[in-house]
């Protein structure tokens, strides 16, 4: 470790020139090859990232620093990762012991004052002309635009340097799936697809006597038995008008009884428990409790199928003709089918990134008019996204079906598990 003292200002030259490291420290131990390639191709000299517990948590930084699972973090931690040299981690003296493991990856600089922090930042940006960080002008409420203004100002004051967004770098590092990650996703998707079919049978044998909450708990218990986790966020089971709320929050008390003539929405997600690198599956199906689907529901469901399938087909066509996957174009294709049929514009994106987080760090497949601002990132080969347009008629019913699409670098976009083609009649 490197310690900066109260007299560090007078020893700046000594600190900067102290970078002597073993050649056997492997750069790839932190950055994936796809991220290194992105930095080299775009001229990014360093990726600065940070985690500030409680106020600005940043799972991306914790993953990059191999700090997931460390307990009792209260002080900020930050660092620089480079495409061509070992990383530098800056930690508070209060929590120095937490980061002793990092010495096998790179340098750890311990700071105890603002002056020491500023010197450490200058050290991290030494010889850099362009750095990437979690900032994207105009964007709010996204995982790659969260840096506090005061911290951004400090970075800019510390060196004359170009600042660019780390958005695509995050995608290359985290949202592009490994072979093992994709396999874990597909295993989870196949298992929970089987469970949803068991839920249909569970309802069928209890029509008029079973509640939304009881079906949710049936599914949650199945997940546990199969060693899957939804990490405290159990599935959504919603009937009729409840399903018109896209993020309906189920409670045991007041949960609706499922009876004949009810329309039932299922939204369920899980990943393999005990594997920190396991990738989520996030799927949605619809069912009707009855022998024949009413015309109103049949028309809406047919429209929904067309919208979902159109998003996938548009992605495939874009790649076939050599065009980039611009998320807002994919979103608009599905969304226009819904609104052109006379249904309300749905209040969520058509899709979202899926990683070790159910709502992952990659680009969202949403409209260019989102209140969050315009996410200019492209959907990259190797990424996984959901495809989930919806129809919500307030006070009456809601419908949403969801499949997961993997942008296969060789075969192009494809769904990763069985998808719903017809309304399930219970």
Give ranges for CATH 3.90.230.10 in the chain.
176-425
CA distances to 45, 239, 244, 300 from 294, in Å: 60, 15, 17, 10
Q: How far is Cα 298 from Cα 290, in angstroms, rounded to an integer?
A: 13
Q: How far is Cα 286 from Cα 282, in angstroms, rounded to an integer?
A: 14
What pLDDT shows up at residue 45?
Answer: 97
Please tell me which residue, 372 or 94, carries the higher pLDDT value. 94
Buried b (16+ CB within 10 A) or exposed e, 338-376: beeeebeebebbbbbbbbbbbbbbbbbbbbeebeebebb
Give ranges for CATH 3.40.350.10 in the chain.
2-174
- 403, 387 in Cβ contact below 8 A? yes
Assigned fold of 2-174: Creatine Amidinohydrolase; Chain A, domain 1 (3.40.350)
What pLDDT shows up at residue 370?
Answer: 83
Token readout for 359 is 């709502």
Q: Residue range 65-78: average pLDDT?
A: 93
pLDDT band at 14 (very low <50, low <70, confident <90, very high): very low
What pLDDT shows up at residue 4?
Answer: 60
Q: How far is Cα 335 from Cα 351, in angstroms, rounded to an integer?
A: 11
Share of the chain above pLDDT 70, in %: 93
Reported as a single tens digit per residue, the pLDDT across 176-191 is 999 999 999 999 999 9
**Residue 7, pLDDT above cutoff 90:** no
**Which residues lie below 8 Å from residue 331, measured CB to CB, with a gap of 6+?**
311, 349, 350, 351, 365, 366, 367
**Residue 138, pLDDT above cutoff 90:** no
What pLDDT shows up at residue 23?
Answer: 42
Reported as a single tens digit per residue, the pLDDT across 91-112 is 999 999 999 999 989 999 999 9
Reported as a single tens digit per residue, the pLDDT across 269-309 is 999 999 999 999 999 999 999 999 999 999 999 999 999 99
pLDDT band at 369 (very low <50, low <70, confident <90, very high): confident
**Residue 239, pLDDT above cutoff 90:** yes
CA distances to 187, 308, 321 from 415, in Å: 13, 11, 20
Mean pLDDT of the chain: 91
**Residue 10, pLDDT above cutoff 70:** no
**Residue 387, pLDDT above cutoff 80:** yes
pLDDT band at 3 (very low <50, low <70, confident <90, very high): low
Q: What CATH number does domain 176-425 carry, 3.90.230.10, 1.10.3720.10, 1.10.10.60, 3.40.50.970?
A: 3.90.230.10
**Residue 28, pLDDT above cutoff 80:** no
Reported as a single tens digit per residue, the pLDDT across 403-418 is 999 999 999 999 999 9
What pLDDT shows up at residue 68?
Answer: 86
pLDDT band at 140 (very low <50, low <70, confident <90, very high): confident
């Amino acid at each position: 470790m490197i310690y900066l003292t109260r007299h560090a200002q007078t020893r700046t030259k000594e600190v900067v020139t102290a970078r002597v490291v073993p050649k056997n420290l492997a750069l790839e131990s932190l950055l994936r090859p796809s991220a290194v390639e992105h930095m080299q191709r775009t001229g990014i000299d360093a990726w600065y990232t940070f985690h500030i517990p409680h106020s600005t948590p940043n799972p991306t930084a914790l993953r990059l620093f191999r700090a997931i699972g460390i307990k009792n973090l209260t002080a900020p931690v930050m660092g620089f990762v480079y495409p061509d040299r070992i990383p530098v981690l800056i930690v508070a003296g209060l929590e120095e012991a937490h980061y002793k493991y990092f010495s096998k990856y790179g340098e750890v600089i311990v700071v105890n004052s603002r002056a020491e922090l500023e010197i450490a930042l200058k050290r991290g940006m030494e010889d850099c002309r362009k750095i990437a960080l979690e900032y994207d002008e105009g964007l709010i409420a996204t995982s790659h635009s969260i840096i506090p203004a005061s911290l951004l100002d400090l970075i800019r004051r510390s060196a004359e340097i170009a600042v660019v967004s780390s958005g695509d770098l995050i995608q290359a590092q985290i949202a592009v799936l490994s072979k093992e990650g994709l396999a874990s996703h597909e295993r989870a998707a196949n298992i929970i697809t089987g469970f949803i079919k068991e839920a249909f049978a569970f309802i069928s044998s209890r029509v008029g006597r079973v509640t939304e909450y009881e079906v949710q708990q049936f599914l949650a218990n199945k997940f546990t038995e199969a060693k899957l986790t939804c990490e405290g966020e159990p599935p959504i089971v919603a009937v009729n008008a409840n399903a018109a709320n896209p993020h309906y929050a189920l409670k045991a008390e007041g949960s609706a009884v499922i009876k004949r003539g009810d329309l039932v929405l299922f939204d369920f997600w899980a990943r393999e428990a005990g594997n920190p690198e396991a990738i989520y599956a996030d799927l949605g199906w619809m069912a009707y409790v009855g022998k024949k689907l009413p015309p109103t529901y049949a028309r809406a469901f047919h429209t929904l199928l067309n919208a979902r399938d159109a998003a996938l087909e548009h992605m495939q066509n874009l790649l076939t003709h050599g065009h980039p996957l611009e998320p807002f174009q994919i979103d608009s294709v599905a969304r226009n089918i819904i609104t052109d049929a006379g249904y309300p514009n749905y209040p969520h994106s058509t899709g979202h990134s899926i990683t070790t987080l159910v709502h992952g760090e990659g680009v969202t497949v949403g409209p260019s008019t989102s209140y969050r601002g315009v996410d200019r990132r492209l959907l990259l080969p190797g990424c996984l996204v959901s495809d989930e347009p919806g129809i919500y008629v307030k006070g009456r019913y809601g419908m949403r079906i969801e499949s997961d699409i993997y942008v296969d670098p060789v075969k192009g976009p494809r769904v990763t598990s069985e998808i719903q083609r017809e309304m399930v009649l219970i």
